[in-house]
Amino acid sequence: MCGIIGIVGHSEVNQALYDGLTVLQHRGQDAAGIMTCDDDGKFFLRKDNGLVKDVFHTRHMIRLKGKMGIGHIRYPTAGCSTSAESQPFYVNSPFGIALAHNGNLTNTKVLKDELFQTDRRHLNTDSDSEVLLNVLAHELQNSSKLTPQPQDIFNAVAQVHRRCRGAYAAVAMISGVGVMAFRDPYGIRPAVIGKRETEQGTEYVVASESVAVDILDYELVRDIEPGECVFIDTKGNFYSQQCAENPVKSPCIFEYVYFARPDSMMDGISVHKSRMRMGTKLAQKIKREFPEHDIDVVIPIPDTSRSAALQLSYDLGVVYREGFIKNRYIGRTFIMPGQTMRKKSVRQKLNAIDLEFRGKNVLLVDDSIVRGTTSQQIVQMARDAGANKVYLASAAPPVRFPNVYGIDMPSANEFVAHDRNVEEISKQLGVDWLVYQDLPDLVAAINKKSDVERFDTSCFDGEYITGDIDANYLYYIDAMRNDLNKQNSDKSNAVIELHNN
């Protein structure tokens, strides 16, 4: 999972890009990058591993000149984690193009072969984002014009849709021409448009989430539609066109469960409101399955479960309390590579308030349960703090299948729900009882009032909406994602970086 942003303004955009990336930081903590373009068409780039605040210093910001630019934040994936894989990526032909991408291409190997054998293009990393950039560049090269026009850009994106499979929300910048953004025909990954009026004219921003639009004082216009491409030229003129043949709005449901900030709107859906409705659905299930429950207090596992937990406590008529204090200087454990780092970080990240647990029957509420290692430790923390009984409720169904569209979930056999029923999972986690959200209830909670045709729920039901995922691809993903492979990859990358330094 990553975050993207692009701005076309009438004044320097470096600070706005930086501010936008900071509020998208929850989408990735591994690397950050910004590329700007000045009036002469010259690109300026700064990218590196680390948080936004650590990657960009005053000396870097001064060099990022220009009235348009794009930015990216990345979280660790199964591939290489060196700074060479941080984004935006750049190619000098044609025109000079930079691109930042959120998602995952599922036919990367095929595209790599095509790019080398047919398109005669060289790739320097293992990133599918560089593949996407080169496919776009090759298609733009078919334009005979010295300066590509909007229709040339839309034609190129139409060809990208025909060649690329999987999930991609991308923002790209063409030297001296403008900024473009597009989503895959299923709209799996989010992207929104904002604008504001200035004395010099209209300025535009595109970003992964509306929170970036809000914080920069732009007006949220709408989402980029699945398959759509938008283009803003250097003068601030806005163009858009549907470039896919059969778009189907099918956003990833895990965005609403975990990744997105609660103050974001995506595809016309309030993340906060959807999580509150998840809490209501969970409360209804608890009333059905445990009508004589003895819950004394509802405690959220911060931060993403707060909205659901608060509404659940209200619907159950049970007291809500904050029982864990979070160290905000520790990253999100879900997106940390390797079990060793993950286990270590949980104790550093959370500390229990004994008074809220001692002698009570506690219902812990989490947004989802993936590996279960974090949940095990939190349950034990609650018991160590004196809880009489510990129950656990998940706002999402059991995660049983790998995500192939940009969420780097672990190998399937690392899921706590792998080959286990709810009772067995409950014993594994050490809780007195466990309740999961039902998938139909999750969908109903999120899709109360929207034009979403269906959601990508593949991590819960194994139904991959792009229709191109088979057992061989899942085996390949599994081999890439298991923690042992990741640890070996990290060691190899550390050796490479050591020699390079």
**Average pLDDT of the chain to the nearest whole number:** 91
Torsion, Cα 476 482 485 491, to 10 degrees, reads 140
pTM over 0.75: yes
pLDDT at 492: 41
Element (H, E) at 167: strand 166-174
pLDDT at 496: 32
Beta-bridge partners for 366: 394
pLDDT at 499: 35
| 466 is known to lie in a ligand binding site | no
Beta-bridge partners for 361: 389
Give the three-state DSSP class for 97.
strand
Cα gap 225→210, rounded to integer Å: 14
Q: Please tell me which of 85-89, 325-329, 389-393 the model is most confident about, judged by mean pLDDT.
A: 389-393
Of the candidate ranges 66-80, 161-175, 471-485, the one whose mean pLDDT is the lowest:
471-485
Joined together, the tokens standing for residue 436 give 């999961």
Between 57 and 326, the higher pLDDT residue: 57
pLDDT at 478: 81
Give the three-state DSSP class for 301.
coil
Q: Each residue of 93-118: pLDDT tens digit?
A: 999 999 999 999 999 999 999 999 99
For residues 205 and 232, the answer to whether their CB atoms sit within 8 Å is no
229 belongs to the catalytic site = no
pLDDT at 226: 98
| 367 is known to lie in a ligand binding site | yes
pLDDT at 482: 66
For residues 352 and 385, the answer to whether their CB atoms sit within 8 Å is yes
Between 485 and 263, the higher pLDDT residue: 263
DSSP type of residue 335: G
Joined together, the tokens standing for residue 194 give 């904002």
Section 424-445 average pLDDT: 97
